[in-house]
Chain A
Amino acid sequence: MLPVTGATAASDSGMSCGSSFGRGGGLAGTGYGRRMTAEYPALALRGLVKSFDGKVAVTGVDLDVPAGSFYGLLGPNGAGKTTTLSMAVGLLRPTAGGAWVLGHDVWVDPVTAKQLLGAMPDGVRLFDRLSGAELLAYHGLLRGMDPAVVDRRAAELLDVLALADAGRTLVVDYSAGMRKKIGLACALLHGPRLLVLDEPFEAVDPVSAALIRDILQRYVAGGGTVVFSSHVMEVVQRLCSHVAILAGGTIKRVGTLEQVRGDRSLEEVFVEVVGGRTATGEELAWLSR
């Protein structure tokens, strides 16, 4: 079991177990997560370290994601966001440390942890020689769901995400935005208690982004927890209740949005923490001629 269950977790997670989400289908409350989990954070990372061939990508990440929170993981390119989230969902074995989903160790009791969890990894292909409907059916059955429930939810998800028109088009022929949406649908299908999304808003057009935002907000309002990585400040500022800034493989700032931001804009804080630089106008003079 999880060694440290912070007080923050208990206090922040007022709402927990499943009220239903969406129209009629009930995507959130499926029975998987119907247990009292409020005393545990939805996701807890302890001392996560990952090194590749001696190169350290993540150097000790500790994070508590309170149940019911909308958690943004911010960081520049190469900060270790994807590595951290991959270790959190069981795709990448950590060099040291552990991850707990609602109190279940991802690396010791993966079956339970993975049932409570929905993930959309970034930079990972889907089984894209299937159509959208086929892909959803595959994911649903792989999660051990009842075929009738899979059919009903898949139809609903395709409808809500405006993918029903694609018909039997293979996912490989989808646009980037459509691929993000079908990936999200696959992660949502089994009604997980925790959603871990890697760059859900990257390469997505504004219309699809608004739709994804809306769905995620309803999911959190229904008692779910969302962790997502991004480097789009505007989205994070609008959506998140909590924020962590990751840079150089460690957490630099963590807390509620207000705690991290203070009275400044999130972007200012971010650039300051990450240590960015601005062009002075001296360099790159050859660009104008």
Chain B
Amino acid sequence: MAVPVTLPAGPVRPVSARHFVRLKLRVMGNNFHGQGWRVALFLVGSLVGLWFAVGAFFGLAAPGLVGDDRYALLVAAFAGGLTVLGWLLLPLVFFGVDETLDPARFALLPLSRRTLVTGLFAAALVSVPAVAVLLALSGLVVTAAVFGGWSAAFVTVVGVVCGLLLCVAAARAVTSAFATMLRSRRVRDLAAVLLAVLAALLGPLQLAGLAALEDTDWDRLVGVATVIGWTPFGAPWTAGIDVAQGRPWAAPVKLLITVVTIVALLAWWSRSLESAMVGAVGAVGGGPARARPGVTGGSVAQLFPRAVGWLHRDRFGALVAREARYWWRDVRRRANLITIAVVGLFVPVMVNFGGQGFTLDSDQSFSPAGESSPVLVSLSMLFVGLLAAVTLANQFGFDGSAYAANVVSGVPGRLELRARATAFSLYVLPLLAMVAVVIALVLGEPTWVGFMAGALVATYGAGLAVNSFVSVLGAYALPETSNPFAMNSGAGLVKGLLTILAMIVTGVLAVPMVLAAGLLGDTWVWLGLPLGVAYGVGALLLGTYLAGDVLDRRQPELLAMVTPRR
């Protein structure tokens, strides 16, 4: 039966950002319901955030409190710029973004895109990091008030609020765009390049900063700060300082720059948001269906990738083969591999060339040329090794409820953990070898490659051991969305704290490698590799031996932890 064009009956009450904020608070509250440890973790996380925020507040208020007008612009531009940069990059590299409100859930509701974006944006502002940043950067208001009185303070308040909006919008836009790109398999190479470029930006910036610090030429630094102040990175934070220092005409221009940037970021976000919503229908977490090349060989032969053809066709082999396939086929896992590759190369380069970043830890390399030392190199290798290992901190969370297959088959815990470590190492060990070789060549110290690789493997092995425990005891469910950066808000804090804890323990375990590099001198060049490998492998075997027992006792509990609640 045909009907004339039908309009919805009755007036519809408008949906505002308030509804989204309330929804987010409700979802967060429900997550805590009856989960004492989650509340405790949230409180601890909030307190840590508050602690840092208060510290940063006084740091930023210091120029005003001390009354030294010279540093005001400097502090505002650099601290503000670093904050924006952090919001831009940290979600990509480490922590992910809070997807308590998954955009895909709103796909069926009659909401305009503008309502949706402003709503989700407002909801995103309700988070511990946002509050902490607001508190910390408010220190600038004190500084501005001391030098410029009420008008400057008022402009700074506006600037800081705009700056916070800029930070959140930047984080959302970048992760959302990135997720969309990674989902489409055709552009994943482009995405990898983009991430590389983003990470590469860190290097030059730090180099410039350190070079400037070395000269302690404040005028030049003020020059840099002035330039930063005119980019979106520094504009919102320096507007009030400009008023205080007698350049009131600059304030409206800078605020305009900020607002235009925010609007542009939101527009960008809104575009990628739409594709995220549409893409989520049909294939949850999956790419488009594609025809794959025809079948060759039996099913067992198909399961084993060529690179692991040497494995026995038994339980261990099957576990390794499946994990190896997953590290490539699962977008979330692949995003982690790309991160390791990029960060693993750039961080050592940064540390060893901008050497002074670690001068406190190294007693030898104080020369202004930024020359590296075995201790410094070992420290940077330690960082790469633990970064690689911490990827497995939630290895069962990647599987989600699919882990049930292993529980039903009764896979022994040690076998499970060792197979997972083996499969991950298939990707990571070549990567670590590449890091060691490249860094050694770049440093012009090819003989160091041995102990560098030793430090890497030792840290990596110890890290795998530590993360075996973390992954069994501290697993959490990842949301079943296609966004590789997504996580639940409760889990975000858990992940952050557990990650940091695992990294600290791993770092402590790897300290012997750094000490040996400092104390043993030339012998270490030859002993480093065999001892490091032995240390790493030994730690891994011991760790999985002990953690395997734990896993055997709590397989059903682990399954419940990684199963997303619906």
Chain B hits for A186, CB < 8 A? 405
In the complex, the answer to whether B313 meets A147 with C-beta atoms within 8 Å is: yes
In the complex, the answer to whether A144 meets B302 with C-beta atoms within 8 Å is: no
With A154-B299, A173-B283 already in contact, the answer to whether A138 and B318 are too (CB < 8 A) is yes
In the complex, the answer to whether A114 meets B303 with C-beta atoms within 8 Å is: no
Chain A hits for B401, CB < 8 A? 123-125
In the complex, the answer to whether B286 meets A170 with C-beta atoms within 8 Å is: yes
In the complex, the answer to whether B292 meets A131 with C-beta atoms within 8 Å is: yes
Chain A hits for B400, CB < 8 A? 125
Q: How far is the CA of A121 from the CA of B411 in the complex (A)?
A: 17
Given contacts A125-B402, A143-B409, A173-B283, 7 further A-B contacts (CB under 8 A): A93-B556, A93-B557, A127-B405, A138-B318, A150-B300, A168-B292, A168-B294
Q: List 8 A-B contacts (CB under 8 A).
A: A91-B404, A124-B401, A124-B404, A129-B329, A141-B315, A141-B318, A147-B313, A170-B329
Give the nearest-CB partner of B33 in chain A.
A53
Chain B hits for A90, CB < 8 A? 407-408, 410, 556
Interface membership of A134, Cβ < 8 A? yes
With A53-B34, A90-B407, A128-B402 already in contact, the answer to whether A155 and B319 are too (CB < 8 A) is no
In the complex, the 3 A-B pairs of residues with the closest C-beta atoms, listed nearest first: A151-B298, A141-B318, A133-B299
Chain B hits for A91, CB < 8 A? 404, 407-408, 556, 559
Interface membership of A48, Cβ < 8 A? no
Q: How far is the CA of A142 from the CA of B408 in the complex (A)?
A: 10
CB of B161, distance to nearest CB on chain A (Å): 40
Give the nearest-CB partner of A131 in chain B.
B302
In the complex, the answer to whether B404 meets A154 with C-beta atoms within 8 Å is: no
Chain A hits for B406, CB < 8 A? 142
In the complex, the answer to whether A127 meets B302 with C-beta atoms within 8 Å is: no
CB of B417, distance to nearest CB on chain A (Å): 15
Give the nearest-CB partner of B407 in chain A.
A91
In the complex, the answer to whether A141 meets B314 with C-beta atoms within 8 Å is: yes
CB of A259, distance to nearest CB on chain B (Å): 32
In the complex, the answer to whether B318 meets A129 with C-beta atoms within 8 Å is: no
Interface membership of B102, Cβ < 8 A? no
- Which A residues lie at the B interface, using CB under 8 A? 53-54, 89-93, 110-111, 114-115, 117, 119, 121, 123-131, 133-134, 136-144, 147, 150-151, 154-155, 158, 167-170, 172-173, 186
In the complex, the answer to whether A144 meets B314 with C-beta atoms within 8 Å is: yes
In the complex, the answer to whether A110 meets B329 with C-beta atoms within 8 Å is: no
Query: Could you say which of A54, A115, A150 contacts B299, with CB atoms under 8 Å apart?
Result: A150
With A53-B34, A142-B409 already in contact, the answer to whether A124 and B402 are too (CB < 8 A) is yes
Interface membership of B330, Cβ < 8 A? yes
Chain B hits for A128, CB < 8 A? 286, 402
Q: How far is the CA of A123 from the CA of B301 in the complex (A)?
A: 29
Chain A hits for B411, CB < 8 A? 142
Query: Could you say which of B34, B329, B408 contacts A89, with CB atoms under 8 Å apart?
Result: B408
Q: Mark B288-321, 1 if CB is under 8 A from A, else 0.
A: 0111111100111111000000000111011101
In the complex, the answer to whether A172 meets B299 with C-beta atoms within 8 Å is: no
CB of A234, distance to nearest CB on chain B (Å): 28
Interface membership of B358, Cβ < 8 A? no
Q: How far is the CA of A131 from the CA of B559 in the complex (A)?
A: 23
Give the A-B pair count, Cβ closer than 8 A.
136
Q: How far is the CA of A111 from the CA of B300 in the complex (A)?
A: 23
Chain A hits for B302, CB < 8 A? 131, 133-134, 137, 168
Chain A hits for B366, CB < 8 A? none
In the complex, the answer to whether B285 meets A172 with C-beta atoms within 8 Å is: yes
Q: How far is the CA of A170 from the CA of B404 in the complex (A)?
A: 19
Interface membership of B325, Cβ < 8 A? yes
CB of A133, distance to nearest CB on chain B (Å): 4
Give the nearest-CB partner of B318 in chain A.
A141
Chain B hits for A115, CB < 8 A? 410
Q: How far is the CA of A172 from the CA of B289 in the complex (A)?
A: 9
In the complex, the answer to whether B318 meets A142 with C-beta atoms within 8 Å is: yes
Chain B hits for A54, CB < 8 A? 34
CB of A188, distance to nearest CB on chain B (Å): 13
Please report which residues of chain B, range 544-562, place their CB below 8 angstroms from some CB of chain A when the two chains form the complex: 556-557, 559-560
Q: How far is the CA of A147 from the CA of B329 in the complex (A)?
A: 24
Q: How far is the CA of A172 from the CA of B404 in the complex (A)?
A: 16
Q: How far is the CA of A133 from the CA of B299 in the complex (A)?
A: 5
Interface membership of B326, Cβ < 8 A? yes
In the complex, the answer to whether A167 meets B292 with C-beta atoms within 8 Å is: yes
Interface membership of B399, Cβ < 8 A? yes
Interface membership of B322, Cβ < 8 A? yes
With A139-B405, A144-B314, A150-B299 already in contact, the answer to whether A173 and B289 are too (CB < 8 A) is yes
Chain B hits for A139, CB < 8 A? 405, 409
Give the nearest-CB partner of B319 in chain A.
A142
Q: How far is the CA of A54 from the CA of B36 in the complex (A)?
A: 14
Q: How far is the CA of A126 from the CA of B566 in the complex (A)?
A: 17
Give the interface centre of B290, B299, B325 by most chain A CB atoms within 10 Å.
B299
Give the nearest-CB partner of B294 in chain A.
A167
With A93-B557, A128-B402, A143-B409 already in contact, the answer to whether A134 and B325 are too (CB < 8 A) is yes
Give the interface centre of A137, A140, A150, A168 by most chain B CB atoms within 10 Å.
A137
CB of B482, distance to nearest CB on chain A (Å): 11
Chain B hits for A151, CB < 8 A? 298-301
With A53-B34, A128-B402, A133-B302 already in contact, the answer to whether A167 and B556 are too (CB < 8 A) is no
Give the nearest-CB partner of B404 in chain A.
A124
In the complex, the answer to whether B322 meets A138 with C-beta atoms within 8 Å is: yes
CB of B311, distance to nearest CB on chain A (Å): 10
Chain B hits for A110, CB < 8 A? 410
Q: How far is the CA of A129 from the CA of B334 in the complex (A)?
A: 13
In the complex, the answer to whether B298 meets A155 with C-beta atoms within 8 Å is: yes
Q: How far is the CA of A133 from the CA of B295 in the complex (A)?
A: 9
CB of A135, distance to nearest CB on chain B (Å): 8
Give the nearest-CB partner of A187 in chain B.
B408
Q: How far is the CA of A141 from the CA of B300 in the complex (A)?
A: 8
Query: Could you say which of A114, A138, A140, A168 contacts B410, with CB atoms under 8 Å apart?
Result: A114
Chain A hits for B557, CB < 8 A? 93
